[in-house]
Amino acid sequence: MKYVDEFRDGATARALAAAIAREVRPGRRYHLMEFCGGHTHAISRYGLKDLLPDNVAMVHGPGCPVCVLPVGRIDGAIALARDHGAILCTYADTMRVPATGGLSLLKAKAQGADVRMVYSCADALRIARATPGRDVVFFAIGFETTTPPTALAILEARREGLANFSVFCNHVLTPAAITHILESPEVRELGIVPLDGFIGPAHVSTVIGSQPYDYFAEEYRKPVVIAGFEPLDVMQAILMLVRQLNEGRACVENEFTRAVTPEGNAKAKGLVAEVFELRRSFEWRGLGEVPYSALAVKAAYAACDAERRFGLVCRSVPDHKACECGAILRGVKRPTDCRVFGTVCTPENPIGSCMVSSEGACAAHYTYGRFRGQAGVAAQAPSHG
Amino acid sequence: MADTARRAYVRPIDFRHGRVDMTHGSGGRAMAQLIEELFARAFDNQWLRQGNDGAVLAAPPGRLVMATDSHVVSPLFFPGGDIGALAVHGTINDVAVMGATPLWLAAGFVLEEGFPLADLRRVVESMAAASRDAGVPIVTGDTKVVEQGKGDGVFVTTTGVGVVRDGVDVRGDRARPGDRVLVSGTLGDHGVAIMSLRENLSFETTIASDSAALHGLVAAMLDAVPDLHVLRDPTRGGLATTLNEIARQSRCGIVLDEAAIPVRPQVEAACEFLGLDPLYVANEGKLVAICAADDAPRLLAAMKSHPLGAQAAVVGEAIDDPHHFVQMDTKFGGRRVVDWLAGEQLPRIC
């Protein structure tokens, strides 16, 4: 397939793997965090670990929008559909995230709530136009990549005078999450999580540009290489990070120049600034309350804000006791460190959010990589046989 | 009885503008008329002509195979097929991949009140054509009608009976380490053809469903290699799910070679932008075969010389693995698990 195969070429991968093997110093370890779930997925799906030297360790970051949604927000979405009678439009991944009382959007749907899977918020707008008598709420989740389309949908709804459309906004911000990880005691004081550098987001950076990462490189002395989501992008970024670390540099470098500029996408940023404002604080699964890390719909667009419109209050609900998603999202633990990984918690019956999305660290490891040293986990049949 | 009913008819069924109503399932004259003017006429054969509640069949010597399959695909009509042809092909294939020659079919229809009779006729005529082309008659059937909103146009259930030829023992638990895994052609065509028509996706593609009856191909394969170990049609869940089923039944592992797996570029592209994996997308005219390594070249040649197996390929082999994993050597150079499908890629695909 043109424009895709070029970035998945086996020969180039072997050449890059050889270059990385040549560059790494035998005496040291390289702990690199891939922030995005897209990178996590590529690493697992293409078997990148088989191509890396043993002293390069990839640490999974919190950049999976489904994974970081706290239980309380899923409960909120279920309430909108079940208690307020709205048509709730959601991305497919979110439907299986476990909520309070053994529920999920999928189970709420089976109980009669009107939950509909959509591929984009434009589909939600279409449903709102087609069902003027019903409230239609778009369950907006995601980082900076999915935020501009949501802003556009709100502006479009206003332009058309679409009174039955609103957005349950859960958009979160990447730089705030990275700061939070770097400031966490595990990284900063205790050194439990060694972090030498970051593979920076691909699609997020097409919107916000590479400039927002300068702060991390300068303030925390951590190199950042922004990389695309194809496996060769990831390999190239690892090579660039290893070189920076060997040379003692900490800069922001851009591997993904075919899509990312220093300034980002001014038009998209403008749309977001028009419709959204910063929340003082927002709860992340795994990270807890993170200041200035999420967006809310501005008062000027209150009619399109489902939280205001339905007086929705989302409680903070603790995760399942056995679930290690929080520690995994902070890079403190690996999926295999979790007691319930692959036993009680599987993609068919997820206990935690990291097992739900294909970008989640647990799901990616379970689906693609669990044959590596996983003597205890045999292939399991789905319940329907 | 039939004569009395016919005399009482007011006028012939309006297949242009008419719709299914509750009387078409009530057991009364309207139902008798629908069966006579549509189903019996389209499927016509010696058993249906007898007008009995069931078909009396003379079973040939040998072991019989019976398989059943319900079809709820949405939309009902798609490039390369429709629910009618699919219902015939699907069940013929389920019988054929047991190593059997399909002999007879039964068909059950659940119709929704309000369903256009023109569409019903299109479905029934497509079934009749598929059954004729395959040489497998529909010898008995049933029709029910449900109220509007309780169905989705039409659901079709078909059951097939076939006979296994002597010396053939095709089962899901016969894959042995060292065996070769073959597929009969490109993967994912049916699923992508259906997806392209879904209201919330609607993208343009030249891909048509691969819906086809595979018993001719199976017969050619068994002629070449009577000791075929495993045959299966990778429908819902695609190749990945089918191989996981086989690995579990046979208590072995399977390793695939990604570079050898045939996928059309259009299917690959559609999967790429939808975030799907062609290995999990449904097929309706493809099969997976597993045979001893020594038999593989002969089997491949037999498949390639049949029109429905022209793009057949050896895609992997069975290995000894206590965990029964299906794994794949990626084009990229790594190895990964090819797991069971979690959740559902897209509902109502067949």
Q: What is the pLDDT of residues A215-242, one digit of tens each?
A: 989 999 999 999 999 999 999 999 999 9
In a domain, B45, yes or no: yes
Among candidate residues B164, B199, B228, the one where a domain is terminated: B164
Residue B342 in contact with partner chain A when CB distance is under 8 A = yes
Residue B50 identity: Q
d(CA B316, CA B97): 19
In a domain, B349, yes or no: no
- What 3-state class would DSSP assign to A116? strand
Cα–Cα distances in Å, from A331 out to A192, A291, A317, A326, A339? 10, 20, 22, 9, 16
Q: What is the DSSP string of B140-206?
A: EEEEEEE-TTSS-SEEEEEEEEEEEPTT----TT---TT-EEEESS-SSHHHHHHHTT-TTT-----
**Assigned token pair, A24:** 């790494």
For residues B56-67, b (16+ Cβ closer than 10 Å) or e, as one string?
A: eeeeeeeeebeb
What's the rounded mean pLDDT across residues A56-81?
91
B226 and B303 assigned to the same domain:
yes
Handedness of CA A241, A244, A246, A249 (dihedral sign): negative
Instruction: Assess whether pLDDT exceeds 60 at residue B8.
Output: no
**Assigned token pair, A227:** 């990389």
Among candidate residues B110, B132, B164, the one where a domain is terminated: B164
Confidence tier at B268 by pLDDT (50, 70, 90): very high
B199 and B256 assigned to the same domain:
yes
pLDDT at A378: 37
Q: What is the DSSP letter of A294?
A: B
The helix (H) or strand (E) run that includes residue A267 is helix A266-275
What's the rounded mean pLDDT across residues B180-196?
94
Residue B347 in contact with partner chain A when CB distance is under 8 A = no
Instruction: Assess whether pLDDT exceeds 70 at residue B87.
Output: yes
Cα–Cα distances in Å, from B254 out to A62, B229, B303, B314, B324? 33, 14, 21, 13, 7
B263 and B333 assigned to the same domain:
yes
pLDDT at B272: 87
Verify whether the Cβ–Cβ distance A51 to B333 is below 8 Å: yes
A-chain residues near B327 (CB < 8 A): 371
Per cent of chain B over pLDDT 90 is: 80
Tracing tokens 């996981």 back to the chain, one arrives at B244
Q: How far is A371 from chain B (nearest CA, A)?
A: 7
Verify whether the Cβ–Cβ distance B337 to A371 is below 8 Å: yes
**Assigned token pair, B134:** 């395959």
Q: What is the CATH number of the domain that holds B117?
A: 3.30.1330.10
B120 and B29 assigned to the same domain:
yes
Residue B10 in contact with partner chain A when CB distance is under 8 A = no
Q: What is the DSSP letter of B269?
A: H
In a domain, B223, yes or no: yes
In a domain, B186, yes or no: yes
Compute the radius of gyration of chain A from its Cα atoms.
21
Instruction: Assess whether pLDDT exceeds 50 at residue A374.
Output: no
* Beta-strand runs (E) in A1-119: 30-36, 56-63, 87-90, 115-117
Instruction: Assess whether pLDDT exceeds 50 at residue B34.
Output: yes
Instruction: Assess whether pLDDT exceeds 70 at residue A376.
Output: no
B-chain residues near A4 (CB < 8 A): 272
Confidence tier at B200 by pLDDT (50, 70, 90): low
Cα–Cα distances in Å, from A76 out to A62, A81, A88, A170? 22, 9, 11, 11
The count of structural domains within chain B is 2
Per cent of chain A over pLDDT 70 is: 96
In a domain, B342, yes or no: no
The structural domains of chain A, with segments of one domain joined by +, span 1-320, 325-369
In a domain, B346, yes or no: no
Tracing tokens 């136009």 back to the chain, one arrives at A129
Residue B258 in contact with partner chain A when CB distance is under 8 A = no
What's the rounded mean pLDDT across residues B8-37?
87
Domain span including residue B309: 180-337
Residue B198 in contact with partner chain A when CB distance is under 8 A = no
Verify whether the Cβ–Cβ distance A347 to B201 is below 8 Å: no
Q: What is the DSSP letter of B82?
A: E
Residue B343 in contact with partner chain A when CB distance is under 8 A = yes
- Helices of type H across A32-116: 37-45, 71-82, 105-110
B230 and B324 assigned to the same domain:
yes
The helix (H) or strand (E) run that includes residue A246 is helix A231-247
pLDDT at A78: 97
B229 and B291 assigned to the same domain:
yes
B290 and B223 assigned to the same domain:
yes
pLDDT at B6: 55
B110 and B245 assigned to the same domain:
no
d(CA A42, CA A190): 30
What's the rounded mean pLDDT across residues A69-87?
95
Strand partners, B146: B112
Confidence tier at B256 by pLDDT (50, 70, 90): very high
What's the rounded mean pLDDT across residues B175-194?
96
Closest alpha carbon within chain A to B263: A1
Instruction: Assess whether pLDDT exceeds 50 at residue A385.
Output: no
Class of A1-320 per CATH? alpha beta
Rounded to whole angstroms, the maximal C-alpha distance in chain A is: 67
B159 and B212 assigned to the same domain:
no
What's the rounded mean pLDDT across residues A96-102?
88
In a domain, B343, yes or no: no
Confirm whether the ipTM is greater than 0.90: no
Query: How many degrees, rounded to 5, is the angle at CA A320 between CA A315 and CA A324?
Result: 115
Contact partners, residue A237, CB within 8 Å, separation at least 6? A199, A225, A226, A227, A255
What's the rounded mean pLDDT across residues B20-27?
90
Q: How far is B342 from chain A (nearest CA, A)?
A: 6
Contact partners, residue A2, CB within 8 Å, separation at least 6? none
Q: What is the DSSP letter of B116?
A: B
pLDDT at B343: 63
User: Model confidence over B269-314: pLDDT tens digits?
Assistant: 989 888 788 999 999 999 999 999 999 999 999 999 999 999 999 9
Among candidate residues B164, B197, B221, the one where a domain is terminated: B164
B82 and B189 assigned to the same domain:
no
pLDDT at B195: 85
Mean pLDDT, chain B, as a whole number?
92
Angle between helices A147-160 and A121-130 (to 10 degrees): 20
User: Model confidence over A164-210: pLDDT tens digits?
Assistant: 999 999 999 999 998 988 888 888 777 777 899 999 999 999 999 99
Verify whether the Cβ–Cβ distance A371 to B339 is below 8 Å: no
Closest alpha carbon within chain B to A378: B323
B204 and B121 assigned to the same domain:
no
Verify whether the Cβ–Cβ distance B342 to A382 is below 8 Å: yes
